[in-house]
Structure 1
Amino acid sequence: MTRRPVVSVFRSLALLFVVGAPLMASAQVCDESTRTAYQNAVDSGATESQLEAQFGQCRGTVTQSVVATTTNFNIFYEKMNSCGLHPQQRRPACDVEIRQNFGYGAFPAGSNENVLFCFDCDLNGTYEYAVPGAVHVTNNISPQGPSWYHSVNAVATNTPATCAWGSGRTIRIRAILSWSAKPASCASKPIWGNWIDFQARMDP
């Protein structure tokens, strides 16, 4: 699959900017063989910076929405569409749309869709807490075709005092979907996957 130029869209309340990304000097190919090489690099212990250097060209960026902001990188294979928080169970969760028949690894070995949930509990732009989750996926062996919808969730235990469960306060959560490689921090930009930044409330 040959990647096409990406258009970035930034929305801020009543302001809308549309910026066309510059054309790349040569078409970048980020197909299933690239995914295999990426998986091999992850399995061999490649760092986030090493993955960035080798596969960063596979990422595109599309930002959309206002209250819940979705930043899409490479979403050809997988994508989160929505996220939320179950405050009584202290459980953030997101859907993960599996969009292709291939690119996840042969059945049953497969690979993981990783999601890091980052909490900004006092709304100051700093993430005080993070908890990981994952769902296992494989190449399709069923007669039905895509898309499929899985979910990833995690239980947020040992949260700091700023995350006062049952307080009714509003918090911000960033969910980072990253295929194969686990996000190293709340600023990690996945090669394959996306971000969703959303508001939640600590209802009792």
Structure 2
Amino acid sequence: MFSLKTLLARKLTLAALLTLGAPLAAHAQQSPTCDASVKEEVVKALEGSEKLNKAEQSKLQESLYAKYKECGSADAAKPQPNDPFFIAARQCGARVTQLGSLFFEEMPCCGYDPQRRTFACPVKIKRPTGFGAAPLPGSREYVLHCVADGSGTFHPVGQDSVHLANSQLSPSWQFAVVANAIDNLDLVQPLKGNAARARSILSWQLQPTDCKYQPIWGNAIDYTIRLDQ
């Protein structure tokens, strides 16, 4: 039999271990599978790629995607359902459909202006580095926008990006990617107040290639837009 003093001592020891373990576990969740230096490698690999033709650019991006895709898939399992990102997405009426690494950037919400045929998406930047040297070359946050047809199949309607670079300031920051719908315009017309399903895909530095694109760094959300006059 243990004395009351011994039992109390063991309980206090256990409580101390749990208290110490909690911040350690939380800290572990804040460590990406691939740190900022890996993202800097991607920046360097793509530096000057704008001088290549489209076929060569696509081949280079495909090779980088294959090399670093585990950076996203490993981190995608880390956020919990009660993570502020998922809460923000739900509050925005959005559903997260593709998830990559969220340690450097995230996009929980987007909106659409039907009169201007313009999408606007705030992108939260969560780390000071991992975006390329300032002011150049820096890197880009790409967002591809898709709208579903009557059968529920998504088709691309527009894409754009915002440039950013490393900073000595403390994050977080809210950037914004603004893009006009220029393709498959029949999906966003006519303006009769009808609803449509939209999907927006955030991908750092590697351009999304289609509406099922799985970003390495970033995420995709589905949400409802309304085509009001």
* Structure-2-length-normalised TM-score: 0.69
Structure 2 match to 1:30: 34
How do residues 84-103 of structure 1 correspond to structure 2 at under 5 angstroms?
A: 84-103=111-130
Structure 2: give runs of 5+ residues left out of the alignment: 1-26, 50-56
Structure 1 match to 2:144: 116
- 1:133 Cα deviation (Å)? 1.1
Q: What is the SS of the residue equivalent to 1:161?
A: helix
CA deviation profile, 1:103-135 (whole Å, cap 9, x unmatched): 11111111111101111143x221233211111
CA deviation profile, 1:78-97 (whole Å, cap 9, x unmatched): 11121111111111111000
CA deviation profile, 1:125-183 (whole Å, cap 9, x unmatched): 212332111111111144xx111001111111353334313121111111111111111
Q: What is the SS of the residue equivalent to 1:128?
A: strand
Change in CA separation of 1:158 and 1:114 when aligned onto 2, cut-off 3 Å = closer
1:69 aligns with 2:95: yes
**Greater radius of gyration (CA):** 2
* Structure-1-length-normalised TM-score: 0.77
Structure richer in strand, relative to its length: 1
Once structures 1 and 2 are overlaid, which stretch shifts more, 102-111 or 60-69?
60-69
Q: What is the SS of the residue equivalent to 2:198?
A: strand
Whole-Å Cα distance in 2 between the matches of residues 197 and 162 of structure 1?
15
Taking every aligned residue pair, what percent have the same amino acid on both sides?
34
Change in CA separation of 1:91 and 1:152 when aligned onto 2, cut-off 3 Å = same
Structure 1: give runs of 5+ residues left out of the alignment: 6-26
Structure richer in helix, relative to its length: 2
Q: Is the 8 A contact 2:157 2:182 kept in 1?
A: no
Structure 2 match to 1:166: 191
Q: What is the SS of the residue equivalent to 2:133?
A: coil
Structure 1 match to 2:180: 155
Structure 2 match to 1:128: 155
Q: How many residues align?
A: 179
1:80 aligns with 2:107: yes
